[in-house]
């Protein structure tokens, strides 16, 4: 009887594509909360915060920038800047 080849990390068969990993919601850490607050307020990122806090900050700033660009392009036919600047 043939054995299935298993992927070391997931335990799933390597012949089947893996489904996206869905993570359970968790509370933000203190610095992640501070990064989120700073991003919403338009304040600069504190380099003392963790890498995870940087990801939270950049994700919020990026999403807010995309929303602003979408709002502008819906109202006016202005070329969209290729990159949003972060503080």
Tell me the mean pLDDT in the region 36-57: 95
Helix (H) or strand (E) holding 67: helix 51-75
Count how many domains the chain has.
1
pLDDT (mean) for 32-38: 96
Q: Which residue has the tokens 């915060």?
A: 49
Residue closest to 86 by CA, chosen among 67, 52, 59 = 59
Q: How many alpha carbons lie under 13 Å from residue 60 in its C-beta half-sphere?
A: 20
Question: Would the pTM count as exceeding 0.95?
Answer: no
Q: Residue 68 sits in which domain range? A: 30-75
Q: Is the pLDDT of residue 7 over 50?
A: no
Instruction: For residue 11, tell me if it sits in a domain.
Output: no
> Does any domain span residue 34?
yes
Would you place residue 81 in the very low, low, confident or very high pLDDT band (cuts 50, 70, 90)? low
The reply to whether 40 falls in a domain is yes
> Would you say 84 and 69 are in contact if contact means Cβ atoms under 8 Å apart?
yes
């Amino acid at each position: 009887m043939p054995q299935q080849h298993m992927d070391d990390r997931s335990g799933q068969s390597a012949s089947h594509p893996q489904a996206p990993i869905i993570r359970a919601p968790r509370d933000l850490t203190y610095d992640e909360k501070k990064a989120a607050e700073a991003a919403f307020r338009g304040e600069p990122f504190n380099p003392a915060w963790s890498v995870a806090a940087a990801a939270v900050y950049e994700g919020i700033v990026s999403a807010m920038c995309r929303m602003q660009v979408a709002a502008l392009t819906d109202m006016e036919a202005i070329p969209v800047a290729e990159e949003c600047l972060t503080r």
